[in-house]
Structure 1
Amino acid sequence: MAGKQSIIVRQGNLFEPDSPLHGKVRGERSVMDFPFFALSKVAIDKELEFKIGKLSIQIRPSATGIATMYDKEIILYVASLMAQAVSRGEEVDQNFTFTAHDFFRITGVARPSKRDYDRFTDALERLQGTQIKTNIQTGSKIEKGWFSWLSEATAEYIEMPNGDQQLRVVKVRLCPWLHRAIQLDGHIYHYNHDYFRLGTIERRLYEIAHCHCVGESIEFPLDALALKVGSTAPLSKFKQHLKAVEASDDLPEYKVSLRDVIPHTERFDTRGRRVTKPDTVVVLAPRDRPTAAMLEAVAA
């Protein structure tokens, strides 16, 4: 046909993708509830460690830093593909193939730019390079060693007639820790699509509320919530951010409010002086209707 240009395939273009994703984004409870990702947009190149009760999480950075809350979008997308397949009764291994186009469609990027694609491939690198060690069990197993979110990640391109390269398909291998959680534990929650419009702390607040606000409000001491969110900022700065969230009231499905409470027991500072300053409690509550987190059982 006159005028039709052929496409030169640099890497194979014959594949059976697991995409497109139908319906809502879904996430696994442990990945929602605990601070596995960096909140900062700026690369964090030092190890992070969080201890919540008897649970511990250690995070080692990749060469380009720790995987961020924005990088987590890829993990949510892959987890959603897996949950979709499990819900259809399909046998699911750890390997997934999808198009970048479908990922951007799901996360609300209507016209992805070159910068968006560059960020996407950078995120794949951080997800493969970031190392996690935790005693949080999945599938009744505790892993003692380190693991990466993606043990393999390949972005395959085609070369256009003008010499430009176009990303067509992505192949990843999901870590056994998360694969077991989705397949065997089945604690899968739907995400509100407005989640992708939120900042990093707001995303964590939404996830924590989504896990714990089952038809009623839940309260956290300020320091306990900061730890669960994964904030490494001073408590005063974290509180200031929460006040801004409370004032804007933009969190989907849930409301955030702060209140001061007088401690039941007397406290003293290092000089033996009585501390009269009230404690701050953060309340996460469902909005008008008492909706739970839409738990979807997908256990094998």
Structure 2
Amino acid sequence: MTSARSPLLPDRHPQKDLFVCDIVDAVPKGDMASMEHPVFTLSTKPDMKPRRYQNGDNSIEVSPSRYGLATVHDRDVLIYCISQCMAALNEGRKVNRSMRFKAHDLLVATNRQTSGQGYQLLKDALRRLQGTQIETNIRQGGKEYFKVFGLIESAEIVRETRDGRMQDVEITLSDWVFDAIENNHVLTLNKQYFFLRKPLERRLYELARKHCGAQPKWKCGLELLRDKCGSGSTTKEFTAINFEDHRG
């Protein structure tokens, strides 16, 4: 005896459990771990060189995909996602690792160009963020990791205009980043951060913000500063660095 066939078609497009980013002028926030440690490359060209950073008991290994390592400017995407989540939590709203936002809103909030090239650069950033693999024992939100993961688990363009511009984007953050959100392991960034042109300038601001936020000064040796910045220069080169021409 066969069972009766349902008169209804199956739900071919079930609603995902999404957090929708819709808070205007959310205060920029960055996770503390990647503000202190060199997760992102300073290079403005495809960086295919794996790197390892060791400071005491803390270690981090970063490996590129075929698109290269995630860059300091790619970090804008994570800052936007973290900022939206923290603003929602402050309003008593529920958030989760998967979120949807308007590409245009992210570009405007992070002071990026909204031309066709701006959308293409955002696509490239999503590829690098998903493809860059990290292995670390650095604690994030009270947890210690001994596994390999990407900065984002996945990214999807939900809608795209005929001229190739994204409208809606869905991102699923890595556990590492989301743990920082859930445990409030984040710091507020000045909105002028997005006006800093050079990767090294942004990186130096992140380090200063992380270490000087609760104390009047922070001392750091030149070699350690170079390593924390993620620079591939020698100490002598780093000392005489030209911000205008630096490529990491």
State TM-score, norm by structure 2: 0.85
Contact 1:52-1:228 within 8 A present in 2 as well: no
Report the Cα distance in structure 2 between the residues aligned to 1:237 and 1:121, rounded to whole angstroms: 33
CA RMSD of aligned residues (A): 2.3
Q: Which residue of 2 aligns with 1:187?
A: 185
Q: Which residue of 2 aligns with 1:18?
A: 21
Report the Cα distance in structure 1 between the residues aligned to 2:34 and 2:22, rounded to whole angstroms: 22
Distance 1:222 1:63, change over 3 A: same
Q: Which residue of 1 aligns with 2:132?
A: 130
Q: What amino acid does structure 2 have at the position aligned with 1:234?
A: T
Matches within 5 A, 1:40-79: 40-79=43-82
Matches within 5 A, 1:145-160: 145-160=147-162
Q: Which residue of 2 aligns with 1:96?
A: 99
Deviation per CA, 1:157-204: give whole Å up to 9, x if none: 3444xxx333100100000111112202x1321111221222111111
Q: What amino acid does structure 1 have at the position aligned with 2:190?
A: N
Q: What amino acid does structure 1 have at the position aligned with 2:169?
A: V
Matches within 5 A, 1:249-264: none
Distance 1:179 1:123, change over 3 A: same
Q: Which runs of 5+ in 2 are unaligned?
A: 1-12
Report the Cα distance in structure 2 between the residues aligned to 1:74 and 1:139, rounded to whole angstroms: 20
Report the Cα distance in structure 1 between the residues aligned to 2:51 and 2:116, rounded to whole angstroms: 31
Structure 1 runs (4+) deviating above 4 angstroms are none
Q: Which residue of 2 aligns with 1:290?
A: none
Matches within 5 A, 1:245-284: none
Q: What amino acid does structure 1 have at the position aligned with 2:224?
A: A
Q: What amino acid does structure 1 have at the position aligned with 2:117?
A: R
Matches within 5 A, 1:106-125: 106-109=109-112, 111-125=113-127
Q: Which residue of 1 aligns with 2:3?
A: none
Q: Which residue of 2 aligns with 1:204?
A: 203
Percent pairwise identity: 31
Report the Cα distance in structure 2 between the residues aligned to 1:154 and 1:21, rounded to whole angstroms: 22
Cα shift at 1:89: 2.1
Report the Cα distance in structure 2 between the residues aligned to 1:172 and 1:182, rounded to whole angstroms: 15
Match among 24, 32, 41 for residue 29 of structure 1: 32
Contact 1:29-1:211 within 8 A present in 2 as well: yes
Report the Cα distance in structure 1 between the residues aligned to 2:23 and 2:71, rounded to whole angstroms: 24
Report the Cα distance in structure 1 between the residues aligned to 2:164 and 2:109, rounded to whole angstroms: 23
Larger radius of gyration between Structure 1 and Structure 2: 1
- Higher RCO structure (Cα 8 Å, ≥6 apart): 2
Report the Cα distance in structure 2 between the residues aligned to 1:66 and 1:178, rounded to whole angstroms: 17
Query: Secondary structure of the residue that 1:92 maps to in structure 2?
Result: coil
Report the Cα distance in structure 2 between the residues aligned to 1:142 and 1:21, rounded to whole angstroms: 34
Report the Cα distance in structure 1 between the residues aligned to 2:69 and 2:57, rounded to whole angstroms: 23
Contact 1:138-1:180 within 8 A present in 2 as well: yes
Cα shift at 1:53: 1.3
Report the Cα distance in structure 1 between the residues aligned to 2:103 and 2:219, rounded to whole angstroms: 39
Q: Which residue of 1 aligns with 2:9?
A: none
Cα shift at 1:215: 4.2
Distance 1:182 1:17, change over 3 A: closer
Deviation per CA, 1:29-87: give whole Å up to 9, x if none: 11211110011011111211100111001001011100000111101111111111222
More strand as a share of residues? 1
State TM-score, norm by structure 1: 0.71
Q: Which residue of 2 aligns with 1:251?
A: none
Q: Which residue of 2 aligns with 1:268?
A: none
